[in-house]
Structure 1
Amino acid sequence: MADAALRLKSLVEQVLGAPLPVRIRAWDGSQAGPPHAPALVVRNRRALRRLLFKPGELGLARAWVAGDLDVEGDLYTALDLLAGLIWERGEDARTLGQALRDPEVRAAVRGLIRLAGPPLPPAPPEEEMRRRRGHLHTRRTDKRAISHHYDVGNDFYELVLGPSMVYSCAYWPDPDASLETAQRDKLELVCRKLALKSGQRLLDVGCGWGSLAIHAAREHGVTVVGITLSQEQAAYARKRAADEGLTDRIEIRVQDYRDVRDGPYDAISSIGMAEHVGAARYLEYAQDLYALLKPGGRLLNHQIGRRPQRDESAYSVDEFIDAYVFPDGELQPVGTTVGLLERAGFEVRDVESIREHYAHTLRRWVANLEAGWERAVRLTSPGRARVWRLYMAASALSFERNRIGVNQVLAVRTPESGDAGMPLRARTWN
């Protein structure tokens, strides 16, 4: 069909009930839309079939990961322009079912079907998590979900994360600082909030590649047990500890937090791990950590949170993130997190939002990925590299737009005496 872009743009705008703020460049080379805007490149008709058979984020994600859909121009600008259609229409947006009551919309959908052509819907890209029946957040399903995300190769993570190998929000002294400096400052901030002292025992839940364990042992003289469900992370962390000469003070285990039995610990860190716990298990998670702390011990829970919904019962997980990035991950509002920690027995003493810091961190990770794109593709797959580029860029914008945040919650297992061991001016760590 000649001039497919103009036809596609017209039909999509009829379905959406809104103009497209980006250009369309179709498989026949035709273009339509604002001339100076980034272009949404529809490489083939298969992209339309993916969207028609799975409308919404998952269809878009499948087309992106498979390379059927791309962006020409700045990815952040394109996502920012599309945000009004993807995010900001919110609960006032017409659902597809409502839209299809309109005869003109139904006619537009039929036009898209004709434009897409046969055959049946394409199979999902291989990078998509294959679902199995059963309950969420059992030990088995959690281990499988963690492996899907973290066992994609340590070399790939080195490329994206840089030498610090810290996969959580950095803490920026200024925007021009290096990523390594900002991550070191974050590790030090965690240690100071926990008031770590030589000879204490620290449990690092979700220890990743061992960066916090090494920093705490080397700089603060503590003994650390780090736990992870990723075999690749554990092997990498053990080697790093050995290279630093810290094997006498650092033990890395492949272990579920529910199976730790060797408390009490003086302090517990959980940095970017609690998002994997799940709402149904969160109170159990908090109770388990509470039981592992000695009286007076501190927990630093660093966790991404989402904005509360007007109707929390209608909340659903992000389909793209769930299928391709963090299977079975769940975000909660920070108020919910604080409430569940308190129900478990903790006294919450400090909550610090560092939302803007995560946006800056993600933009640095995207820059690392784009600079090493060819190597990233060789280390994983074209689809996996595309997953990461989209997820990190979109997440950066989500933090910048306050759709999601990240919070460090400092909580204490306050002893019966009531003396929590906190300074009168709590923010002395800053």
Structure 2
Amino acid sequence: MADAASRLTALAEDVLGAPLPVRLRAWDGSEAGPADGPVLVVRERRALRRLLWKPGELGLARAWVAGEIDVEGDLYAVLDRLAGFLWERGDESRGALETVRDPKVRAAAATLLKLAGPFPPPKPPVEEMRGRSGVRHSKRRDKQAISHHYDVGNDFYELVLGPSMVYSCAYWPDDVAGSTLEDAQRDKLDLIARKLHLKEGDRLLDVGCGWGSMAIHAAREYGARVVGVTLSREQAAYARKRIAEEGLTDRIEIRVQDYRDVTDGPFDAISSIGMAEHVGAVRYREYADTLYGLLKPGGRLLNHQIARRPEPDEEAYEVDAFIDAYVFPDGELAPMGRTLTTLEDAGFEVRDVEAIREHYALTLRRWVANLEAAWDRAVRLTSPGRARIWRLYMAASAVSFERNRIGVNQFLAVKTPVSGGSGMPLRPRVWSESEGR
């Protein structure tokens, strides 16, 4: 068992075909790897048993959530080096640990078996979502998935998101250092309101309304009448309380309702902010058709959505195992082009697409800072495993945005009447000057 770090490093480099870009410290105190590299710590031999039973990302995720592997120093540095190592090598390293027919992998498994210690494998951490029932992206299963992610306590979300309680990409000015997260989230909500050309008395449907921030902004600042729908009971209760405190109960209705069950259209505008990621590829056309049907002629949709890069073989695309098990069960990302095409196929005229990828990386780093600054309270509000999930998920997502592995886009689409008049200004990007309030 002596010098476990060197044995593990040699094992990984043999399978992956290149030197590891991070330093490794094992449970026996041994270290191996670049002396100036950030340190990945394997605290427990149990982590290796997890890898043997679930090779690849899910095994690593379980070890992280259980606290059996950790990072010493800058988490972003470790994630960025590992991301560069894996992504830049492409298919050569992707899924290498899962290719059990490869002689190198079989030999690696035998070495891991010697290092891992006694069997059986540890149980998965309790924060993992298991036992999903029903057809993927059915109403029943979607409600289960939403509850897993959002019904973990509003106090925890307040800690991470800050006073704005907006759980989507903020909109930052050039002077990022001089701007607060709350300012950037307010600017994002206002940008959406202006793109939708909201005005006094307009009916707005906010799909996936979260904790009510967009609904409150639209009603308070623009005089809109808002229906917000969410599948999370905790979100709905929190939003209703905020709305009452703002004195806006006569303008805003919050429902625990699937967007597919909304029947009281038409609406003048629809905002869908960070919700379409939950819809799934098999339901995306239904999503677009439903929102098209709920708009009046000339009405506008603002679809704010995370996108992934297209795969060479789209049929081989697989959902991220860590995200699916611990963060967004059944969540799926679509390439930008597919979203645009689906909106057009549903009948929308897509009038503007704004890519704001860098803004999400900045937002995520602020959320991680909020979490780390109040770590002990975050653990008390949820669990050590849940806090670790969020720290890894948000930091890794920030790196993915920074490296252009994923992006986020705002699609402004119009249900253009038969007459062809879209109601759009001739210079649409000058939102505040050409449209006003």
Does 274-283 or 19-28 show the bigger shift? 19-28
By how many angstroms is 1:90 displaced?
Answer: 2.2
Q: Which aligned pairs between 1:30-429 and structure 2 lie closer than 5 A?
A: 30-93=30-93, 95-96=95-96, 103=103, 105-173=105-173, 174-176=175-177, 177-429=179-431
User: TM-score if structure 2 supplies the norm length?
Assistant: 0.96
User: Unpaired runs of 5+ in structure 1?
Assistant: none
The answer to whether the 8 Å contact 1:347/1:412 transfers is yes
* Cα deviation 1:247-285 (Å, max 9, x = unaligned): 000100000000000000000000000000001001111
Distance across 2 between alignment mates of 1:258 and 1:352: 27
Describe the shift of the 1:98–1:22 C-alpha distance in structure 2 as closer, same or farther (beyond 3 A). Answer: closer
* Cα deviation 1:174-224 (Å, max 9, x = unaligned): 311100000000000000000000011000000000000000000000100
Distance across 2 between alignment mates of 1:285 and 1:4: 51
The answer to whether the 8 Å contact 1:15/1:99 transfers is no
* Percent identity for Structure 1 against Structure 2: 77
Distance across 2 between alignment mates of 1:103 and 1:53: 18
* Cα deviation 1:273-299 (Å, max 9, x = unaligned): 000000100111111101100000000
User: TM-score if structure 1 supplies the norm length?
Assistant: 0.97
By how many angstroms is 1:36 displaced?
Answer: 2.2
Partner of 2:6: 6
Distance across 2 between alignment mates of 1:416 and 1:102: 59
Query: Residue 70 of structure 1 aligns to which amino acid in structure 2?
Result: D
The answer to whether the 8 Å contact 2:55/2:97 transfers is no
SS of the aligned residue for 1:171 comes to coil
The answer to whether the 8 Å contact 2:348/2:415 transfers is yes
The answer to whether the 8 Å contact 2:133/2:141 transfers is no
* Cα deviation 1:68-113 (Å, max 9, x = unaligned): 1100110000011111344332223375489666655533331121
**Pairwise CA RMSD:** 1.4
Distance across 2 between alignment mates of 1:196 and 1:181: 20
SS of the aligned residue for 2:412 comes to strand
SS of the aligned residue for 2:429 comes to helix
The answer to whether the 8 Å contact 2:39/2:78 transfers is yes
Aligned length, in residue pairs: 430
The answer to whether the 8 Å contact 1:15/1:109 transfers is no
Distance across 2 between alignment mates of 1:97 and 1:374: 35
Runs of 4+ in 1 over 6 A off after TM superposition: none
Does 13-22 or 395-404 show the bigger shift? 13-22
User: Unpaired runs of 5+ in structure 2?
Assistant: 433-437
